[in-house]
Amino acid sequence: MNPAPCPPLTSLQLPLDDAAVRRLQVGQFVELTGTIWTARDAVHHYLSDPQNPVPFPARNAVLYHCGPVIVPDGDGWRVTAAGPTTSIREEPYMAGLIERFQLRGIIGKGGMGPGTLHACQRSGCLYLHAVGGAAQVLADRIRCVRGVYLEHFGPPEAVWQLEVERFPVLVTMDAHGQSLHDDVIQESAARLAKLLAET
């Protein structure tokens, strides 16, 4: 028997533009090279207030829902772990930030809700699923830490500017209104209903 073909892998150079985002669809594996920015709860809340100054170039950015473990290394820093955190808790802020900053990508785990999905479709943004439990493997794809912003939130909640190379992610929400997370929920519900009907 012939082995199943591997799904195609797309290499993307950051920053992305609208055309590059809209060429992608759910289910595509992607490797990112360029700059990404970590952002967790405190940063999403802060950025949601338009009166707060934004100390890093957020327009067209890719935000990573991650609280990295970063240690001093000479005159700079070294990332020892960089796994994704659960994204859904940023749902109250995400659509507004996508539209305000024309964000091109959100990296995290677990997916997000309909507000984020609709904003991705309107503005040209992707939700990119990173593998949970692989924090050290993902850290190995970070070439260097370029800087840190909003340090007063503390190391896990600060914005870290990370230069990544071939950072592996899966497109699970695209700019065409498709959500792999919704598909999984619907298929699971259908299978459960079938099982219950057979008992």
Sign of torsion over alpha carbons 59, 61, 65, 67: negative
**163-196 burial, b if ≥16 CB within 10 A, otherwise e?**
ebeebbbbbbbbbeebbbbbeeeeeeeeeeeeee
Rounded CA separation 53/51 (Å): 6
Establish whether 176 is a catalytic residue. no
Rounded CA separation 109/128 (Å): 8
Rounded CA separation 45/59 (Å): 17
* Catalytic residue set: 44
